[in-house]
Amino acid sequence: MTYQGLIQRYKQYLDLPAHTQTISLLEGNTPLIPMPRLGNEFGCELFIKFEGLNPTGSFKDRGMTAAISEAVGRGAQTVICASTGNTAASAAAYAARAGLRSIVLIPEGKVAAGKLAGAIAYGAEVIQIQGSFDDALSLVVEITQKTPIALVNSINPYRIEGQKTSSFEICDVLGSAPDWLCLPVGNAGNITSYWAGFKQYQKGLPRMLGVQAEGAAPLVLGHPVEKPETVATAIRIGKPARGEQALEAAHESNGRIIAVSDAQILDAQRILASEGVWVEPASAAGLAGLIAESAKGSIDAKGKRVVVVCTGHGMKDPSIITESFKSPQVIPARYQALVDLVGS
């Protein structure tokens, strides 16, 4: 049978209420790309779970198909979320598909161009908050407590249900869980989902390496960060809603949560692109973490199977490339000028 989306594929494993009406854009079923050359450097069998290939370009579509399907089924007419960008684009797309009104709150000036454009294109009412993602999240929590508007942030348990499916897919492809799973951590919904998924699927358990950006690392510091800052705007979050669960996942799996610098994140982004996988900065944090831990000797990846989750596509955040990488050169439209530049 042709693929009908992840609710259809994994519904027996998903705790969704009977009233759920499936709204799907055929999300999930993303490739697990072998990275033999890069893996060689760590002596491990390395794969990228490329979540940037979901319908709106990020892993958020997994949770959103579930959250919107449940909301529609219970008769919701408007959905709302706070977002660093990807959740907004995803909520907007699935709400559009379902015929719902969507409202998204984003931190002013801190959302990458491809995400903002997506949210607008899909028809969301986009509201910029003069504050952080954390401020926006408090506001949407309050309004959904006082009105019938449905919350589709990952506090919504159905988001977690949908996002568990990525661990199922990894196990289905590899035949078992990998030894390590490395991924970025922002609001901590995704690490919570992966860990719940691996535990439920019973194909073995990976050790979890959650990676935050140094300027937005509340789970490493052990306290909220009032003014989070990082080039990886997707994970510019100072008070993760599921922080406790993220720490539990790291602890239970005998893994850890670490922080890496913006420079390490951009390095990892460049390395991935040099292997043909272009991801947004936050998505490179997982690899940055693996590189940092291997260099310190605190992860021995040798002979292990390692999956690095790349959560969002590079096209989400094009400006970072022209700012921090090599920009194109300009020449006159003459053959000699071309040869002078590229050599013969």
Smallest CA-to-CA distance from 307 within 212, 168, 213 is with: 168
Residue choice 85, 178, 197, 228 for contact with ligand AN7 (CB under 6 A): 85
Decide: is 27 part of the binding site for ligand AN7 (CB under 6 A): no
Judged by CB under 6 A, does residue 187 bind ligand AN7? yes
Site for ligand AN7 (CB under 6 A): which residue of 190, 230, 264, 269? 190
Q: Which lies closer to ligand AN7 via its Cβ, residue 45 or residue 105?
A: 105
Q: Which is nearer to ligand AN7, 89 or 205 (CB)?
A: 89
294: left (phi over 0), alpha (psi -120 to 50) or beta: alpha
| Using rule CB under 6 A, residue 280 touches ligand AN7 | yes
Task: Closer to ligand AN7 by CB, 45 or 280: give it.
Answer: 280
Stretch that binds ligand AN7, among 10-18, 142-150, 178-186, 255-263 (CB under 6 A): 178-186
Q: How far is the CB of 211 from ligand AN7 (least distance, A)?
A: 9
Task: Specify the residue, 304 or 314, whose C-beta has the smaller distance to ligand AN7.
Answer: 314
Q: Which of 56, 59, 66 is nearest to 10 (CA)?
A: 66
Please tell me what DSSP assigns to residue 47. E
| Separation CA 219–CA 251 (nearest Å) | 12
Helix 243-252 vs helix 189-201: crossing angle, to nearest 10: 40
Which pairing describes strands 256-260 and 207-213: parallel, antiparallel, or unpaired? parallel
Q: Any contact of residue 311 with ligand AN7 (CB under 6 A)? A: yes
167 binds ligand AN7 (CB under 6 A): no
Q: Which of 5, 184, 238, 289 binds ligand AN7 (CB under 6 A)?
A: 184
Please state the closest distance from residue 341 (CB atom) to ligand AN7, in A: 36
Q: Does 107 bind ligand AN7 (CB under 6 A)?
A: no
From the list 239, 231, 240, 235, the residue with the least C-alpha distance to 261 is 231
CB-CB contact of 10 with 168 (8 Å): yes
Judged on CB neighbours under 10 Å (0-12, 13-18, 19+), 274 is exposed
Q: Does residue 212 belong to the site contacting ligand AN7 (CB under 6 A)?
A: no
Q: Which helix (H) or strand (E) holds 78?
A: strand 78-82
By CB under 6 A, residue 288 contacts ligand AN7:
no
**Nearest approach, Cβ of 175 to ligand AN7 (angstroms)?**
26
Burial grade of 298 (CB within 10 A; 0-12, 13-18, 19 or more):
exposed
For ligand AN7, the closer CB: 20 or 90? 90
Distance CA 82, CA 141 (A): 9
Quote the least distance from Cβ 11 to ligand AN7, whole Å: 22
| Helices (H), ranges, the chain | 6-10, 36-42, 60-73, 86-98, 113-121, 133-146, 157-163, 165-174, 189-201, 218-221, 243-252, 262-274, 285-296, 319-324, 335-342
Residue 39 or 314 with smaller CB distance to ligand AN7: 314
Q: Is 118 in the site for ligand AN7 (CB under 6 A)?
A: no
Out of 189, 215, 289, 314, point to the residue binding ligand AN7 (CB under 6 A). Answer: 189
Q: Which is nearer to ligand AN7, 65 or 87 (CB)?
A: 87
| Contact status, residue 272 vs residue 279, Cβ threshold 8 Å | yes
Residues forming the site for ligand AN7 (CB under 6 A): 58, 60, 83-87, 154, 184-190, 234-235, 280, 282-283, 311-312
